[in-house]
Chains A and B, each alone.
Chain A
Amino acid sequence: MDITGRKLFVKALQEEGVDTVFAYPGGNVTDILDELYKQDVIDVVLPRHEQGLVHEAEGYARATGRVGVCLVTSGPGATNTLTGLADAHYDSIPLVCFTGQVPLSLIGNDAFQEVDIVGMARGITKYSVTVRKREDLGRIIKMAFHIAATGKPGPVLIDIPKDIQTAAGPSEYPSSVQIRGYRPNEGVHVGQLKKAYKLLRAAKRPLILAGGGINIAGANDKLLAFVEKTQVPLVTTIMGKGAIPTGHPLYVGNSGMHGRYAANIAVSRCDVLFSIGTRFNDRITGDLNEFAPKAKIVHIDVDTASISRNVVVDVPVVADANVALEKLLEWAETKDTEAWQTQIAEWNKENPLEMRRDHGMTPQMVFEHVNRTFGNAVYVTDVGQHQMWAAQYLELDDWHRLVTSGGLGTMGFGFPAAIGAAIGSPEKAVVCFTGDGGFQMNIQEMATAVTQEVPVIVCLFNNQYLGMVRQMQQFFYGKRYEATCLRRRKGCPANCKGPNPSCPPYTPDFVALAESYGAHGIRVEREDEIQAALDAARGFSDAPTVIEFVIASDENVLPMVKGGNPMSEMILK
C-alpha cells in the first residue's frame, strides 16, 4: 500500500533508531512536523534559532557518537544551518539535516522562502541532494544515514520539496543501500603499516601525535595499550585531546599554536613522528618548513585526501585508527625510551603550563576546581581564549570527554552544543566553558535549555573583551584594541588603549539575564567563591546555571606561536 512522503519520513527515522530530532518549523516542513506530532518515539526539540539547532545536533552527535538529526524549513531556515554544517564537516561529525523546500513546480521561480540550499551546502557537506521523485525518498534517507555515519563521518543535507512530503508512494524503507561511488576504507595495507611500525621501532626519539580521528573512531583503549606497550610518548592535537588519559605519564600535552612547550619542542626534536587521525592543520604545524624537521613522519588516516596534503609524509597509511591500531598491537614491542622521556620531562620543567597566581582569580584556578568536582562529565567549549585554556588545563580520561569546535572555530558553538550533549547523554554532567563574546552569539538558546530542563553548567569567562583577538592586538598590533572591547560605547575615545576607571558599565548583566530565562545565575569574582558556585550549580537538576567568572581583561593564552612561525618559537610570557 502506498503512503505519503511524510509518513515514510517518520517511519525511516524510527527504523534508523532516531530518538531526538532538532526541529524548527516553517511553511515547508509543517507536514513532517504534523506527522511527528502523531507519534511518541521520537522527541522533537525546539531550539530558538536554526544555527543553535545545528550546534545542538552536533553536541548530541559528538557526545553520543550517534547521528544528529536536524529538520528546518526552506529559505532562511535552511541558510541558518550553514555555519553548523560547515562546523560539522570540518570536525567530521555525523549529521543528517533535512530541509524543507518549495514544491518542485515552484523551484526556480523565486518562490517565497526558496533558496538553492543544496548548491550552497555542496562544499560544506559530505553529500547533499534534493529529492526529486517520491519513489526515491526512502533510498535517499537511507543513503543519508549511511554516508553520515561511515568512513570519515560528516554532515549530509537532504532537501525535500513540500509536494514530495505529501505525495503517495512506496511504503518500504530499505534496510541497506549500495552506493557505487562510496566505498569507505575498511581495511589497512599491512605492508605499509609494517613499514610504519619498523620506523617507530628503529627510532631513538619517537613521538606519537594523536588527532581527533582517535576519538571519532573510539580507538582510545587500543591507543593506550599501544602507548603503554611501546613506551612511546604521545602528544595530541586539540581534537585529539583525551585520546589517552591526560594524567598518563606518557602524555606530554597538546601540540600546536597554544600547545605545551614540551610538546612542541618534542615535535621539533623527535626522529619519528607517528601520527594518527590528524590533518596537520596549520595550527598544528606552524611554518611547514620547520615542522618536525628531524623526523621521519608516519601518517595514518582514514581519509586519503588528508594524507600528504599539508605535510609530505614518509609512510602514508590509509586506515581507520581502530583497524590500524589493532594490527599494530599484534607487533608492538617495548622500547627503551627512558632517556627521551627524561628529556621531555626536563623541557616541561623548564616551561611548565602555569598561570601566575598573584593576579586574583585566573582561569587555571577555575579549571583546577572543575577537575576536582565532576565525576562523569562531558566538557564542551566555545571558541576563543577559554577554549585554549580548557584544552590546556582540563583533565580528561574515560569519564571526561571534550567537545569543541576545532576546525572551523565557530564562536557560538559551545552553549547549544552543550545543550545537545545534555539531551543525548542525560546521565552525565555537562559543563560548558564559554566566553562573554561567544555566549552572546547563541544566547537565545537559554530558552531551549530551560524548556528542555537540561541542567547544563555554563562556566562563562567574562573578561569584557573578545579576548583572543584582543591578545593578538596586544602582541602584534600595538595595543590598538579596535572592535574587541565589549564595554565600548559611542562616547568612548577613539584611540582607547585598554580598561581604565572611566570605562562604561558592562552589558548585559549575565546573572540577571539567566534568571530572566528561568535559569540560575551566579557571579564569581574571587578564587574562594569558585567551589561553592560549582557545588551550587551541581545541585540544580531542573534548569541550567550560568556561573559568570569575572576575570582580568589582560589574561592571555600562553604559550603562543604567531601564525606561520615555527612551532619551536613560542611566546612564553
Chain B
Amino acid sequence: MKNRWIALYVENQVGVLAKVSGLFSGKSYNLQSLTVGTTEDETVSRMTICVTSDDITFEQIKKQLNRMVEVIKVIDLTDVPLHMKEILFAKVLNISAEEKQEVFRIAQVFQVEVTDIGNDSALLECMLTERRNNELIALLRKKFRRIEVVRGGAVAIESISTSCR
C-alpha cells in the first residue's frame, strides 16, 4: 500500500465529478485527495487524484477511470518528475504576543507568508508540497492551543526540466 497520483482529463460537464468520486466510494478505493479545475481548454477539466492502494488495485482504478465515457485521458503521475503543490491556510488562534513572534519565525523557516493578523491570531498562507504542509500542521498543533486549517489538496503538473513533489 502506498500513495499514488493520477492526473485525469475529463469533460467539463455536470455530474462528472460525482461519477469519478462515486467510483471511489462504490468500489471501496481509498481516495486521499481530489482536486479539480478547468484547463487551458475550457471544455476540459483536469483532476489531480491521490489514492492509497496496492499495485493491483491501482491498475484496476486506472482501467475503471479509462472506461468512463467522460474521461478523456488518465495519466499516472506516481513515478514521473513533477511539480506538485498544495494550497493551505492555517489560522493560529488565542496566542500571546510572544507566541505571535513564534508564528513569524515558523513562517520564515517554512518560507510561507503571514497574510493576515489580529490581536491574538495570525493567518498563514502556504503553498508547499503536501508533505511539507503535513509537517507544518504537525508543528503548529504541537506549539499552539488552537489552530484552524483548510487545505486544497495537491495539484500537479509534469516537469519541464526540474521537479518538486
Chain B interface size range: 20 to 34
Q: Which residue of B lies closest to A184 (CB)?
A: B67
Q: Measured between alpha carbons, how far is A393 from B67 in the docked complex, in Å?
A: 37
Choose among B56, B66, B69 the residue with the greatest number of A CB atoms under 10 Å from its CB. Answer: B69
Q: Indicate with 1 or 0, residue by residue over A126-137, a CB within 8 angstroms of chain B CB atoms.
A: 110110100000
Q: Which residue of B lies closest to A127 (CB)?
A: B69
With A123-B26, A182-B69 already in contact, the answer to whether A130 and B14 are too (CB < 8 A) is yes
Sampled A-B contacts (14; CB under 8 Å): A122-B18, A123-B23, A127-B69, A127-B70, A129-B15, A130-B15, A147-B69, A181-B11, A181-B71, A307-B63, A308-B56, A308-B59, A309-B60, A312-B56
With A122-B15, A132-B14, A305-B64 already in contact, the answer to whether A181 and B56 are too (CB < 8 A) is no
Partner of B68 from A180, A181, A307, A312 at Cβ < 8 Å: A181
Choose among B23, B63, B67, B68 the residue with the greatest number of A CB atoms under 10 Å from its CB. Answer: B67
Contact residues, B2-25 vs A (CB, 8 A)? 10-11, 13-15, 18-19, 22-23
Say if the beta carbon of B72 comes within 8 Å of chain A: yes
Q: Which residue of B lies closest to A128 (CB)?
A: B15
Say if the beta carbon of A118 comes within 8 Å of chain B: yes
Partner of A304 from B23, B63, B68, B69 at Cβ < 8 Å: B63
- Is there contact, CB below 8 Å, between B70 and A181? yes
- Interfacial chain A residues near B56, Cβ < 8 Å: 308, 312
Say if the beta carbon of A119 comes within 8 Å of chain B: yes
Contact residues, A73-110 vs B (CB, 8 A)? none
Q: Indicate with 1 or 0, residue by residue over A35-64, a CB within 8 angstroms of chain B CB atoms.
A: 000000000000000000000000000000
B23 vs chain A, min Cβ distance (A): 8
Q: Which residue of B lies closest to A183 (CB)?
A: B66
- Interfacial chain A residues near B11, Cβ < 8 Å: 181
Contact residues, A181-205 vs B (CB, 8 A)? 181-182
Q: Measured between alpha carbons, how far is A312 from B26 in the docked complex, in Å?
A: 22
With A122-B22, A123-B22, A181-B71 already in contact, the answer to whether A304 and B66 are too (CB < 8 A) is yes
- Interfacial chain A residues near B68, Cβ < 8 Å: 181
- Interfacial chain B residues near A305, Cβ < 8 Å: 60, 63-64, 66-67
With A118-B15, A304-B67, A305-B67 already in contact, the answer to whether A181 and B60 are too (CB < 8 A) is no
- What are the 10 closest A-B residue pairs judged by CB atoms, nearest first? A305-B63, A181-B72, A127-B69, A304-B63, A182-B69, A181-B71, A123-B26, A122-B19, A305-B64, A180-B72
Q: Measured between alpha carbons, how far is A307 from B66 in the docked complex, in Å?
A: 14
- Interfacial chain B residues near A308, Cβ < 8 Å: 56, 59-60
Say if the beta carbon of A179 comes within 8 Å of chain B: yes
B109 vs chain A, min Cβ distance (A): 45
- Interfacial chain A residues near B15, Cβ < 8 Å: 118-119, 122, 129-130
- Is there contact, CB below 8 Å, between B26 and A179? no
A130 vs chain B, min Cβ distance (A): 7
Q: Measured between alpha carbons, how far is A132 from B15 in the docked complex, in Å?
A: 12
Q: Measured between alpha carbons, how far is A308 from B56 in the docked complex, in Å?
A: 8
B40 vs chain A, min Cβ distance (A): 15
- Interfacial chain A residues near B59, Cβ < 8 Å: 308
Say if the beta carbon of A16 comes within 8 Å of chain B: no
- Is there contact, CB below 8 Å, between A119 and B18? yes
- Is there contact, CB below 8 Å, between A179 and B67? no
- Is there contact, CB below 8 Å, between B69 and A126? yes
B17 vs chain A, min Cβ distance (A): 11
- Is there contact, CB below 8 Å, between B18 and A179? no
Q: Measured between alpha carbons, how far is A481 from B151 in the docked complex, in Å?
A: 55
B55 vs chain A, min Cβ distance (A): 10
Q: Which residue of A lies closest to B13 (CB)?
A: A129
- Interfacial chain A residues near B23, Cβ < 8 Å: 123
Q: Measured between alpha carbons, how far is A1 from B116 in the docked complex, in Å?
A: 60
- Interfacial chain A residues near B70, Cβ < 8 Å: 127, 181
A23 vs chain B, min Cβ distance (A): 25
- Is there contact, CB below 8 Å, between A303 and B67? yes
B63 vs chain A, min Cβ distance (A): 4
A229 vs chain B, min Cβ distance (A): 32
- Interfacial chain B residues near A182, Cβ < 8 Å: 69
- Interfacial chain A residues near B63, Cβ < 8 Å: 304-305, 307
- Is there contact, CB below 8 Å, between A181 and B22? no
New A-B pairs, 18, CB < 8 Å, besides A119-B15, A181-B68: A118-B15, A122-B18, A123-B22, A127-B70, A129-B13, A129-B15, A130-B15, A132-B14, A181-B69, A181-B70, A181-B71, A181-B72, A305-B60, A305-B63, A305-B66, A305-B67, A308-B59, A312-B56
- Interfacial chain B residues near A179, Cβ < 8 Å: 69
Contact residues, B62-80 vs A (CB, 8 A)? 63-64, 66-72
Q: Indicate with 1 or 0, residue by residue over B44-66, a CB within 8 angstroms of chain A CB atoms.
A: 00000000000010011001101
Q: Which residue of A lies closest to B43 (CB)?
A: A180
Q: Measured between alpha carbons, how far is A126 from B70 in the docked complex, in Å?
A: 10
